[in-house]
């Protein structure tokens, strides 16, 4: 069988990140690769995709394994967010079950510099609980799912940046919700923090460039950052960038073509 008659390499790309968007663009141009981007459907307006998109959960490990077999998926690329531990652990188990190779893109976490004032926490709940009792203005980049958790410390005025617009909860009438999608710029975040007189920052250690501006802005203004550490994900084969993932896919594809699969 030559490369022109060979079946396309069917690839499932678990997304919801800028890496997945970048990878989808490159995969759309790769001959012989049929990629499908999978999104959880958490945001109302997904970024445009050059490859077909499926939306919604698979129904746990068994559901994902079933999807892989039913759709004849050849490889899975996990390009989900480092805090999306459930889907990443599910992907490991489902790929093992369905005997499908898995590669994950794992961006390195941000590292504290000498000028950062970081207080590290194991969970989002711990980070919120550690806010001081005296009222202050707090910038939250913990995501939409953390908004109800902020009610545990209702004395603060929160400035919350999320992708989708929403109203603040009744318990936090003074909260300001800023709806915006990264990448953000450090100078803009410095201006934002000054405008709202932000006293401290809540953030996840997401890593990557697109969301680093708040960390750099907090450093520039010498604000404390309550930063949540990465959740645990089981052992898997990883790379750190979408370019490395692309090389891995190209290599996998070439090996398969050579074998005439």
List contacts with ligand NAP (CB under 6 A): 14-17, 38-40, 42, 57-60, 63-64, 80-81, 83-87, 90, 143, 204
Residue 248 contacts residue 222 (beta carbons within 8 Å)? no
Ranked by CB distance to ligand NAP, the top (closest) residue is 57
Contacts for 179 with CB less than 8 Å, ≥ 6 apart: 161, 162, 163, 164, 165, 166
Comparison of 145 and 155: residue with beta carbon closer to ligand NAP:
145
Reduced to 3 states (helix: H, G, I; strand: E, B; else coil), residue 242 is: helix
Please say which residue, 51 or 87, places its beta carbon nearer to ligand NAP: 87
CB 222, min distance to ligand NAP, A:
26
Q: Based on C-alpha coordinates, what's the Rg of the chain?
A: 21
What minimum distance in Å lies between the beta carbon of 225 and ligand NAP?
A: 16
Count of Cβ atoms closer than 10 Å to residue 49 Cβ: 18
Rounded to a whole number of angstroms, the minimum distance from the CB of residue 82 to ligand NAP is 8
User: If we measure between CA atoms, which residue out of 60, 107, 77 comes closest to residue 230?
Assistant: 107
Rounded Cα–Cα distance for residues 144 and 149 (Å): 10
Query: Which residue's CB is nearer to ligand NAP, number 184 or number 190?
Result: 184
User: Nearest approach, Cβ of 163 to ligand NAP (angstroms)?
Assistant: 8
Q: Report the residue number, 162 or 199, with the smaller CB distance to ligand NAP.
A: 162
């Amino acid at each position: 069988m030559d490369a022109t008659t060979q079946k396309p390499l069917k690839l499932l790309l678990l997304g919801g990140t800028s890496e997945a968007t970048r990878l989808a663009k490159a995969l759309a141009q790769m001959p012989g690769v049929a990629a499908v981007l999978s999104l959880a459907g958490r945001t109302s307006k997904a970024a445009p995709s050059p490859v077909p998109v499926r939306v919604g959960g698979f129904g746990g490990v068994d559901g994902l394994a079933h999807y892989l077999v039913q759709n004849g998926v050849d490889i899975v690329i996990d390009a989900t967010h480092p805090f999306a531990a459930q889907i990443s652990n599910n992907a490991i188990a489902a790929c093992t079950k369905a005997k499908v190779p898995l590669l994950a893109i794992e961006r390195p976490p941000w590292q504290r510099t000498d000028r950062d004032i970081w207080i590290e926490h194991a969970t989002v709940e711990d980070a919120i609980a550690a806010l001081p009792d005296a009222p202050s203005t707090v910038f939250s980049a913990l995501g939409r799912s953390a908004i109800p958790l902020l009610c545990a410390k209702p004395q603060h005025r929160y400035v919350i940046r999320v992708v989708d617009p929403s109203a603040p909860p009744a318990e936090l009438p003074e909260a300001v919700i800023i709806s915006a999608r990264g990448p953000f710029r450090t100078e803009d975040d410095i201006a934002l923090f000054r405008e709202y007189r932000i006293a401290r920052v809540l953030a996840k250690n997401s890593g990557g460039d697109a969301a680093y501006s708040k960390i750099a802005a907090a450093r520039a203004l010498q604000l404390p950052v309550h930063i949540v550490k990465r959740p645990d994900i089981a052992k898997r084969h990883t790379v750190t960038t979408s370019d490395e993932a692309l090389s891995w896919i190209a290599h996998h594809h070439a090996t398969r073509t050579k074998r005439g699969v």
